[in-house]
A and B are shown apart, each in its own frame.
Chain A
Amino acid sequence: MTNQAEITVDTPDDERSKEVRSGRLKRFLENGTPYWFLSPYIIIFGTFGIFPVFFMIFLSFHTWNPVAGLGSMRFVGLENYALSLTDPRLWKTMWNTIAIAVMSGLAQHLVALPMAYLLISLGARARHWLSTAYFLPYVTSTVAVSMIFYIMYSPQSGIINQGLNLLANGTLTSWAFGWIGQFQPIGWLQENSLIRYSISFVVFWKYVGFNIVIYAAGLSTINQELYEAAKIDGASHMQRFRYVALPLLKPFIFFAVTLTIIGNMQLFDEPYVLTRGLQQATSNGMTISNYLYRIGWEWLDMGSAAAVSWILFVVIALFTGLYFWLFGRQGLGGNE
């Protein structure tokens, strides 16, 4: 530092002004440095994040057929919203989405919590192997596993119906399962009354392991002495789970449930593949994202699709908002 100062003092005047100028340039570059580092984010997010949101507002007041080019865009005011909001199929698909989200979501968390509690009661090695197994579906592609489930659900030759047939006709099991025989072949994905359950099961199967791992990690942060103290006070296994583990797990539950709500409300891949992308708009298995895809890319009505996206966004925001309002303070409070 001192060396530099001496050098500056010794330099002649014109050299010095040059240095001041280059210093200014340098300072300008330096002041800009953070923005240079952030420029990829600013450019890409601006293009694919901010612009789309505003464009969606604009588009939802227009009709537009993407095949006919940008010129075919026409202002229609609130017509898209009016049409969408009075479209019974929209509410039907909305209800389907909520039903599947709640069914698969509730099952996921109700199974994952006790499973995680059992898991952490094991030794480290057993815990590791079991969580590796449970987590596997989360890593694999939704499309691939949905293809496999599509085959498993097949009415004539799927393993599920074949297994049920075996149970229904088996000499040892027919007394308990014989009644299933009269419903065969069961169209798990063809029967409108069953399809929601079939889709929900795949969603449950895919994500339950993820929640188990999160809850196990949460439970392992709990100090063992707390359990010990509760035990000394005479708390049973169930009571320790209910009064020690569960309250301390709240921030984890809060986080995991938030992810489930946001993810499940946008469910697309599973129902799309399980129904071969061909189901009727009035089917019970059609989620709102599937419907949105159909409106935009198959019926080529982008304006209405934009309006539907906004409606979906508002519904997701309402659900998450409601959830945050109901549980947010507790959930986050546990973190402190």
Chain B
Amino acid sequence: MFQLFENPHYQRGISLAARTVLWAFLLLGVLLTIFPFFWGALLATHDRTTMFSSAFVLTFSDQLFNNYERLIDIMPFWIGMFNSFKIALIGTLVSLLFCSMCGYALAVFKFRGKSAIFTIMICSMMLPPILTLIPYYMIVSAIGLRDTHLAVWLPFVINPFGIFLMRQYVVASIPTALLEAAKLDGASAFRTYWSIALPLLRPGLATLAIVQFVFLWNNFLQPLVILTSTDQMVITQLLRRMQGIPNTPWGAVMLGTTISIIPLICIYLVSSKQMISGLTSGAVK
């Protein structure tokens, strides 16, 4: 374990005891972080009787399949999962298109009103979403989009953070000479953007896709006020509602909660490095 201390500055002068304490501390942190997930998965195998006995249980039980049947019974679980996935996927794809278009325009073109748009974008990043929640709800109702998925993802496809990110990538990774050459060859502005700029922006698009997908998958407030029929609801909403029914079958609800976390955890385990750097890219440039 100790060969992990590759950094020579720290190897010197740290005693074995200090290292043990350090590792104990760091691993305790890991334990505290992971435990709730483990606990949720563990309770997914229990039913009410074993869960609510006051004995201290730390073992898996055998109620997984019963819980699953219960889960399917009390709510349209897979419809909820599908709705969440659909909203996150469509919202992400559209935002990749729109944010890269805006970022490209801000990076490549000179035009009147550019600095005004910049200022507005920066200000809008400071606008708390809760402030616009009521008019958002009203507009959505007024144009007849209440209880539709479109209303849930549409406002988020022009994430100003994403636009700035795209602008940075265009500036950093697309040489002006390349765009000039495309123009001389007679490519239209859109064509230049689509066939030349966009492929070069792939790493930036991947980062933005992660940020947007995670946000849209986990978003709760907008669906809560917009989606009212059970078949339209996203998974977080459906799970939350289960708190309200009498004698909540917590084993089933924990099973649902655990399954709802799994997709993101899988993506995270495969690409944790990219996800971490994407989600913190506002801070670390």
Which A residues are within 8 Å of any B CB, using their own CB?
A: 30-31, 33-38, 40-41, 44-45, 47-53, 55-56, 59, 66, 70, 115, 118-119, 121-126, 128, 130-145, 147-152, 156-157, 159, 162-163, 165-166, 205, 209-210, 213-214, 217-218, 224, 227-228, 231, 252, 255-256, 259, 262, 265-266, 268-269, 272-273, 276-278, 289, 292-293, 296-297, 302, 305-306, 309-310, 312-313, 316-317, 320
Q: Is the CB of B131 within 8 A of A49?
A: no
Q: How far is the CB of A288 from chain B (nearest CB, A)?
A: 9
Cβ contact within 8 Å between A123 and B7 = yes
Instruction: Please indicate the chain A residues that have their CB under 8 angstroms from the CB of B51 in the complex.
Output: 157
Q: Which of A130, A132, A136, A297 contacts B37 (CB 8 A)?
A: A136
Which residues of B lie under 8 Å from residue A313 when comparing CB positions?
128, 131
Of A51, A70, A132, A317, the contact of B272 (CB 8 Å cutoff): A132
- Per the bound structure, the CA–CA distance linking A165 and B53 in Å amounts to 14
B39 engages A152 (CB within 8 Å): yes
- Please indicate the chain B residues that have their CB under 8 angstroms from the CB of A309 in the complex: 130-131, 133-134
B43 within 8 A of A: yes
Is the CB of B137 closer than 8 A to any CB of chain A?
yes
Give the complex CA separation of A76 and B73 in angstroms: 48
Contact of B33 among A59, A118, A209, A302 (CB under 8 A): A209
Q: Which of B63-71, B171-179, B238-246 contacts A (4 or more CB under 8 A)?
A: B238-246
Q: For A48, list chain B residues within 8 Å (CB).
A: 132, 136, 139, 154-155
List which B217-256 residues lie within 8 A (CB) of chain A: 217-218, 220-221, 224-225, 236-237, 239-240, 243-244, 250, 253-254
Q: In the bound complex, what is the Cα–Cα distance between A317 and B135 (angstroms)?
A: 20
How many chain B residues touch A (CB < 8 A): the figure is 93
Q: List residues 150-177 of chain B with CB under 8 A from any CB of chain A.
A: 154-155, 157-158, 163
A126: nearest chain-B partner, CB-CB: B4
List chain B residues, Cβ under 8 A from A142. 218, 220
Q: Shortest Cβ distance from B82 into chain A, in angstroms?
A: 16
Contact with A along B101-127 (1 / 0, CB 8 A): 110111001010010010010001011
Shortest Cβ distance from residue A68 to the other chain B in the assembled complex, whole angstroms: 12
CB-defined contacts of B237 to chain A, threshold 8 Å: 143
Give the interface SS of chain A, mostly helix, strand, loop or mixed: helix
Q: Would B138 and A55 count as touching, CB distance under 8 A?
A: yes
Residue B85 interfacial (CB < 8 Å): no
Inter-chain residue pair count (beta carbon < 8 A): 268
Q: Which of B33, B56, B240, B275 contacts A133 (CB 8 A)?
A: B33
Q: Is B72 an interface residue (CB 8 A)?
A: no
Q: A38 near B268 (CB under 8 angstroms)?
A: no
> Within 8 Å of chain A (Cβ to Cβ): is B200?
no
Distance in angstroms from B246 CB to nearest chain A CB is 12
In-complex Cβ contact of B134 among A157, A159, A296 (8 A): A296
B60 CB within 8 Å of chain A? no
Interfacial chain A residues near B272, Cβ < 8 Å: 128, 132, 135
Known: A142-B220, A205-B32. A157 touches B52 (CB 8 A): yes
B 177-216 to A, binary, CB cutoff 8 A, 1 in contact else 0: 0000000000001100100000000000000000000100
* The one of A45, A53, A130, A277 that contacts B158, using a Cβ cutoff of 8 Å: A45
List which B25-47 residues lie within 8 A (CB) of chain A. Answer: 25-26, 29-30, 32-34, 36-37, 39-40, 43
| Residues of B52-107 whose CB lies within 8 A of A | 52-54, 56, 97-98, 101-102, 104-106
Provide the bound-state CA to CA distance between A297 and B40, in Å. 31
B54 with A156: CB separation less than 8 A: yes
Which of chain A's residues have a CB closer than 8 A to the CB of B157? 40, 44
Please name the residue on chain B nearest to A48 by beta carbon: B155
| B128:A312 contact, CB within 8 angstroms | yes
Task: Indicate if the CB atoms of A44 and B158 lie closer than 8 Å.
Answer: yes
Contacting residues, chain B, for A276 (C-beta < 8 A): 243-244
What 17 new A-B contacts, CB under 8 Å, besides A41-B117, A209-B33? Answer: A37-B102, A37-B109, A48-B154, A66-B137, A118-B25, A128-B273, A130-B30, A133-B29, A141-B217, A144-B236, A151-B40, A205-B33, A231-B9, A268-B221, A276-B244, A296-B134, A302-B138
B17 contacts which chain A residues (CB < 8 A)? none
Which residues does chain B contribute within 8 Å of A145, judged by CB atoms? 36
- Select which of A136, A228, A273, A292 is within 8 A of B9 by beta carbon: A228
Going nearest first, the 5 A-B pairs with the smallest beta carbon separation are A52-B135, A123-B6, A37-B105, A34-B109, A141-B218
Name the distance in Å between B26's Cβ and chain A's nearest Cβ. Answer: 6
Once the chains are docked, how many angstroms separate the CA of A165 from the CA of B55? 10
Chain A residue contacts of B124, Cβ below 8 A: 45, 49
| In contact, B141 and A66 (Cβ under 8 angstroms) | yes
Contact partner of A138 among B22, B254, B279, B284, CB < 8 A?
B279
Give 12 pairs: A residue, B residue, CB < 8 Å, sorted on A. A31-B111, A37-B101, A38-B106, A41-B158, A52-B139, A118-B26, A123-B4, A140-B37, A142-B220, A143-B239, A151-B40, A289-B130
Collect the chain B residues with CB atoms within 8 Å of residue A256's CB: 283
A147→B239 CA distance, assembly (Å): 8
Residues of chain B within 8 A (CB-CB) of A45 are 120, 124, 158
Q: Report which of B52, B128, B136, B240 forms a contact with A147, defined as CB distance below 8 A.
A: B240
CB distance from A43 to the nearest CB of B (A): 9
Contact A137 B33, beta carbon cutoff 8 Å: yes
Question: Is the CB–CB distance between B265 and A139 below 8 Å?
Answer: yes
Residue of B nearest to A40 (CB): B98
In the assembled complex, the Cα of A224 lies from the Cα of B5 at a distance in Å of 15
Query: Smallest CB–CB gap between A199 and chain B, Å?
Result: 15
Q: What are the residues of chain B within 8 A of A44 when measuring CB–CB?
A: 98, 154-155, 157-158
